[in-house]
Structure 1
């Protein structure tokens, strides 16, 4: 059965056609079932509606998704809404994966060097009892609490004793793929959970 995937990306990668090469690759398959997913993402341009409206739109788009795929371009890691989408997905329990897309030829048939992994710029610490998680983001080389989800950096959780009292970049928990080198066209559905 096809899974519902929320795609998170920098709008620049849409205008360069890289993000859509991944999001729309199902169009060249016999059906969405063989592609293995349904796209539930929203467009960053909708940010013109304001922060509250965009949060509501993102939160609504995440409903009924089980996977969040970050399409990693050159500056994706810096985008505030990408960070929101990653951390909101993490708190709600989505499986998260990152896919480098700079190896895909853009509209000018050019590629770029891989961009930084956005999952290395967001993280979580767990309380000693494992019942509370605190979200973090890295800004200018410093880790600061991320309180843009429901006004608090803290959320209720229940983690295994091995994680209690420790902090982690989300890159420790989730896989990163390269669309070209890892043959995303044929393997994307196997990366989903």
Structure 2
């Protein structure tokens, strides 16, 4: 049975890539958000965005961060990571820069967003895994993620339960 997860990603450049992974059928969770709906949420200001995140993260066992070229350091990505950790949810990153976007383009590898957080005297990145599929061809990256996604999520939940 697919785990219920919340997916976090930089919307404009990585929505297509994120949807490729979400459509694999390996996870359940927040549904695809249209650009119109996301614009409606963001027009409501910070409180509306926080409420949307809270509502969509509720009942999920894990947060999967799709790491693109410019994901790390973004305000709402950071908020989602912090909330996931504080709420005791599994947390895992997957680099998606080598998946093609809707125009057939790949991107540069982004930095690990978990580097921006500390848990006690440790970097969160030393606890939470951030996978970088070992291929540069989009088809093979997709297949690697599809083959491993469920295991990565289960491992993230175990790691969080032990920390």
TM-score by length of 1: 0.67
TM superposition shift of 1:189: 1.0
Q: CA 1:86 to 1:42, structure 2 compared with 1: closer, same or farther past 3 Å?
A: farther
Which residue of 1 is the match for residue 8 of structure 2?
A: 8
Aligned residues: 142
Instruction: Judge conservation of contact 2:19–2:32 (CA < 8 Å) in 1.
Output: no
Secondary structure of the structure 2 residue equivalent to 1:110? coil
Instruction: Judge conservation of contact 1:178–1:184 (CA < 8 Å) in 2.
Output: no
Q: Select the residue among 29, 39, 48 that pairs with 1:53.
A: 48
Which residue of 1 is the match for residue 28 of structure 2?
A: 38
Cα deviations by residue, 1:132-162 (Å, 9 ceiling, x for unpaired): xxxxxxxxxxxxxxxxxxxxxxxxxxxxxxx
Alignment of 1:12-161 (within 5 A): 12-15=12-15, 17-26=16-25, 35=26, 37-40=27-30, 43=33, 45=39, 46-125=41-120
TM-score by length of 2: 0.79
TM superposition shift of 1:191: 1.0
Bigger fraction of residues in helix: 2
Question: Larger Rg: 1 or 2?
Answer: 1
Q: For 1:61 and 1:104, how far apart are their aligned partners in 2?
A: 25
TM superposition shift of 1:10: 0.4
Instruction: Judge conservation of contact 2:14–2:68 (CA < 8 Å) in 1.
Output: no
Q: Which has the higher contact order (CA 8 A, sep 6+)?
A: 2
Bigger fraction of residues in strand: 1
2:146 counterpart of 1:185:
yes
Instruction: Indicate the RMSD between aligned Cα atoms, in angstroms.
Output: 2.0
Which residue of 1 is the match for residue 157 of structure 2?
A: none
Secondary structure of the structure 2 residue equivalent to 1:99? strand
Secondary structure of the structure 1 residue equivalent to 2:97? coil
For structure 2, the 5+ residue unaligned runs are 134-140, 155-163
Q: For 2:76 and 2:19, how far apart are their aligned partners in 1?
A: 18
Q: For 1:41 and 1:79, how far apart are their aligned partners in 2?
A: 21
